[in-house]
Structure 1
Amino acid sequence: MIDFLSNQTAYIDDVANMIYKEFVEKTSSKMTFLEVKKFFSNTKMDDFPITLIALEDGKCIGTVSIFENDLKTQDLYKPWLASLYTKPEFRGKGVGQILITETLKVVKDLGYKELYLRTENAAEYYKNRGWVFIGNALDAKNEKVDIFKFDLKQEIGER
């Protein structure tokens, strides 16, 4: 089942833990766990930031967020898919794709015509799912990232 984190607040710690371990500890970010938890405690359903979660048997097995901007050097692009994460034991089972598909639907329902993302190491994953590479950019740490766009005018479904 996919739902908004704001509807399932009991999973805020789970999401904060996943994101902290994957996207904060593994980088040079200075955010603390409590800051990450506070951020996810304030996600919404119809305004950014928005976080979706994948639930199975009462456990949170994955998450994805929608940010107004996920790359400050590219502020002309809005909104962004961000922080896609599936627990390792559930990878390869379509959880990430289901989260992406639901994210596309949410963004389209909000009236946007496209969605962007940045990736350092998953370009092929997104290319294989209908995302179009639009270029490279430098992030705030001067590291190269790939930028992709998904055209929400096309049919949204399994890719």
Structure 2
Amino acid sequence: MNIDFLSNHPDKINEVSEMIYKEFVVNTGSEMEYEDVVTHFTNTGTTTFPITLLALDNGELLGTVSIFENDLKIRDMYIPWLASLYTKPESRNRGVGQELVARTIDLVKELGFNELYLRTEDTSDYYRNRGWIYVETVADDRYEKIDVFKIKCI
């Protein structure tokens, strides 16, 4: 498995956009349009946010993760954020997500940050069991309960 930047694989933009649109836009009732997701992923970088990483195996996309400057408007003091972690169902339980998260933490450290944040509405135990530190529970205009976690990038 190879972890690389989406910007190095523009042929994967539509595939990533479809995965993220179905999982994080349609499933959450967001009003974002598919074309907005494609535009977002077309504009990801390697040293400035947003950054998107891919897990690839012989050119096949296994999963993806992004780093956003902010993923929770009501908590703009927390920077940066792990976001849109997704592993294809047929690639789950193979360590793909863990590799993507590990590379994300390393990259955030390389960029000069000491901490990485994430938000979750329903997978708190997953992150807690992997060493993420609970920060707080908040609510915004769409969700009544959002758990915020952080991890040290050391």
TM over 0.5, shorter chain? yes
Gaps of 5+ in 1: 154-159
CA displacement, residues 6-36 of structure 1 (integer Å, 9 cap, x when unaligned): 1111100110000000000111211111110
Distance in 2 (CA, whole Å) between partners of 1:143 and 1:80 is 20
1:25 is aligned to 26
Letter in 2 for 1:150: I
For the residue of structure 1 that corresponds to 2:116, the secondary structure is strand
Letter in 1 for 2:152: D
Distance in 2 (CA, whole Å) between partners of 1:38 and 1:122 is 28
1:123 is aligned to 124
Higher mean C-alpha displacement, 132-141 vs 76-85? 132-141
Q: Does structure 2 conserve the Cα–Cα contact (< 8 Å) formed by 1:73 and 1:140?
A: no
> In the TM superposition, what is the alpha-carbon distance from 1:75 to its structure 2 partner?
0.7
TM-score (norm 1): 0.94
CA displacement, residues 86-134 of structure 1 (integer Å, 9 cap, x when unaligned): 0001111100000000000110000000000000111111111110011
> In the TM superposition, what is the alpha-carbon distance from 1:77 to its structure 2 partner?
0.4
> In the TM superposition, what is the alpha-carbon distance from 1:139 to its structure 2 partner?
2.7
For the residue of structure 1 that corresponds to 2:29, the secondary structure is coil
2:66 is aligned to 65
Distance in 2 (CA, whole Å) between partners of 1:95 and 1:33 is 25
Letter in 1 for 2:56: L
Distance in 2 (CA, whole Å) between partners of 1:91 and 1:27 is 21
Letter in 1 for 2:99: I
Q: Does structure 2 conserve the Cα–Cα contact (< 8 Å) formed by 1:53 and 1:99?
A: yes
Gaps of 5+ in 2: none
> In the TM superposition, what is the alpha-carbon distance from 1:57 to its structure 2 partner?
2.5
Distance in 1 (CA, whole Å) between partners of 2:88 and 2:20 is 11
> In the TM superposition, what is the alpha-carbon distance from 1:143 to its structure 2 partner?
2.4
Distance in 2 (CA, whole Å) between partners of 1:89 and 1:33 is 23
2:96 is aligned to 95
For the residue of structure 2 that corresponds to 1:82, the secondary structure is strand
Letter in 1 for 2:85: L
TM-score (norm 2): 0.96
The number of aligned residues is 153
Letter in 2 for 1:116: Y
Is 1:134 the counterpart of 2:139? The answer is: no
Distance in 1 (CA, whole Å) between partners of 2:143 and 2:17 is 26
Counting only pairs closer than 5 Å after superposition, residues 1-159 of structure 1 correspond to structure 2 as 1-153=2-154
